[in-house]
Chain A
């Protein structure tokens, strides 16, 4: 699955809120490092809705790109 969730790393506060709501355990958060594990992510968007400071976004462009590829 193409990863549609994007992180703006410079804005992230590493608070863990998104990790706490991710049903797939797809987000890894070290001291000052965050990453989404692509193979686990189902693009459900729960992390996006829960991020208090708008660091995560759902990238519709990628869906468009994928459709165009077909």
Chain B
């Protein structure tokens, strides 16, 4: 372990590991600090991703693929089911193994990793972030760096200390709960989404099947709904009504910020990636792939800034992120603001009109089209997302 590093990454989730991997690949020195005992555990995630999205970063490996998804099922409040073939291929990850693999790939490139290292402050020099303070096994340490990458997930305190607004409005924070359960008898190649006030108002409930009859069942609701009723009570009701014979093998809670990316994700000496930067897709709540995309851009930009000895170059990351996904996420956010406020009747209407369509016309694009029929201003956004390239 050195006294000083070029880059310190805080948090060893997918965004942090990929940032560390891409930075260390360029030969700069990188230290990654993780507060938990194990990288990748506990798994606070539904674990659903598109295969193509993962392939950009790692070669698919059966070790971390729990199942393959070829269809979506949307279930409306009156229990009308609309089945839609997925144009690409989805997978349900074994995130514990997946996250390990990502951290391992960073380590192979030279990143040093310390777990049980809780970062509790930043060091500053000339108004620029210049390292971190951390606690390891009850002792306090300080370590300097030229750049700190905050990859500390939904709780994201690192950015705040570096002058970036990282907290989320409680109305935008989806409070999630999920169980992994046995005896969930659903199609192993279909992801199920339940909409409406019974399941998850201002959010949705999901069933993502894993192999061997296991599935992740979870839901997320906004803090606005949580004011009246908690996420866990919705999940308990659902399980009692729909899967009374399931055995729960594990359960987790977690927050998902359904917002566009923060306005500022860079300050002198500090960059934010993944959930810390709010790089989640605000419509689906998926943040693994987008966090890895953010992490890869930030890691490369940070290393280049160090190599060229021009630290101000880290600001390029903001624009590169915005061009790659940030602008798209703003559009998804507008769609979300329309869709998630629909009444139960509206969800039912949409489902009824889709059920009547022949199979070949049931695409995600059509779902979106139907969803916006009563809210034409959304149409432009939806069209951009689904029909343009």
Which of A2-10, A47-55, A59-67 lines the interface with chain B? A47-55
The minimal Cβ–Cβ distance linking B166 to chain A, given in whole angstroms, is: 8
Q: Is the CB of A25 within 8 A of B253?
A: no
Residues of A within 8 A of B19 (CB): none
Given known A19-B157, A20-B156, A21-B169, contact A53–B253 (CB-CB < 8 A): yes
Which of B20-28, B104-112, B224-232, B322-330 lines the interface with chain A? B224-232
Q: Is the CB of B118 within 8 A of A17?
A: no
Cβ of A70 under 8 Å from chain B:
no
Residues of A within 8 A of B252 (CB): 13, 15
Cβ of B257 under 8 Å from chain A:
yes
Interface size on A, residues (CB 8 A): 21
Chain B minimum-CB-distance residue to A23: B167
Interface size on B, residues (CB 8 A): 37
Q: Is the CB of B230 within 8 A of A17?
A: no
Q: Is the CB of A30 within 8 A of B230?
A: no
Chain A minimum-CB-distance residue to B234: A52
Q: Is the CB of B177 within 8 A of A20?
A: no
Residues of A within 8 A of B135 (CB): 30
Question: Interface code A16-37, partner B: CB below 8 Å = 1, 0 otherwise?
Answer: 1101111101001111000000
The minimal Cβ–Cβ distance linking A9 to chain B, given in whole angstroms, is: 14
Q: Is the CB of A31 within 8 A of B37?
A: yes
Residues of B within 8 A of A53 (CB): 177, 230-232, 253
Q: Most chain-A Cβ atoms within 10 A of its Cβ — which of B156, B226, B227?
A: B226
A29 and B11 alpha carbons, distance in the complex (Å): 13
Residues of A within 8 A of B166 (CB): 20
A69 and B168 alpha carbons, distance in the complex (Å): 36
Q: Within residues 110 to 152 of chain B, which ones have a CB less than 8 A from any CB in chain A?
A: 116, 118, 120, 135
Cβ of B209 under 8 Å from chain A:
no
Residues of B within 8 A of A51 (CB): 175, 226, 230, 253
Q: Is the CB of A16 within 8 A of B255?
A: yes
Residues of A within 8 A of B157 (CB): 19, 25
Q: Is the CB of B35 within 8 A of A30?
A: yes
The minimal Cβ–Cβ distance linking B161 to chain A, given in whole angstroms, is: 8
Cβ of B243 under 8 Å from chain A:
no
The minimal Cβ–Cβ distance linking B335 to chain A, given in whole angstroms, is: 23
Interface SS majority for chain A: loop
Q: Is the CB of A50 within 8 A of B255?
A: yes
Given known A21-B255, A46-B170, contact A52–B155 (CB-CB < 8 A): no
A17 and B221 alpha carbons, distance in the complex (Å): 12
Given known A31-B37, A52-B177, contact A20–B255 (CB-CB < 8 A): yes
The minimal Cβ–Cβ distance linking B64 to chain A, given in whole angstroms, is: 22
The minimal Cβ–Cβ distance linking B34 to chain A, given in whole angstroms, is: 10
Chain B minimum-CB-distance residue to A19: B155
The minimal Cβ–Cβ distance linking B216 to chain A, given in whole angstroms, is: 15
A28, A30, A46, A52: the one contacting B231 at CB < 8 Å is A52
Given known A21-B169, A23-B167, A25-B167, contact A52–B253 (CB-CB < 8 A): yes
Residues of A within 8 A of B4 (CB): none
A31 and B35 alpha carbons, distance in the complex (Å): 6
Q: Is the CB of A49 within 8 A of B170?
A: yes
Residues of A within 8 A of B257 (CB): 20
Q: Within residues 1 to 58 of chain B, which ones have a CB less than 8 A from any CB in chain A?
A: 35-37, 42, 44
Chain A minimum-CB-distance residue to B225: A49
Given known A49-B226, A52-B176, contact A20–B168 (CB-CB < 8 A): yes
Given known A46-B223, A52-B232, contact A15–B167 (CB-CB < 8 A): no
Known: A17-B155, A20-B154. 15 other contacts (CB 8 A): A15-B44, A15-B254, A15-B255, A17-B255, A20-B173, A21-B167, A21-B168, A25-B167, A49-B226, A50-B173, A50-B226, A50-B255, A52-B226, A52-B231, A54-B230
Question: Nearest 5 A-B pairs (CB), nearest first?
Answer: A17-B255, A16-B155, A19-B155, A52-B231, A52-B175
24 A-B pairs whose Cβ atoms sit less than 8 Å apart in the complex: A13-B42, A15-B254, A16-B153, A16-B154, A17-B253, A17-B255, A19-B157, A20-B257, A21-B167, A21-B169, A21-B170, A25-B157, A25-B160, A30-B35, A31-B36, A31-B116, A49-B224, A50-B173, A51-B226, A51-B230, A52-B177, A52-B254, A53-B177, A53-B253
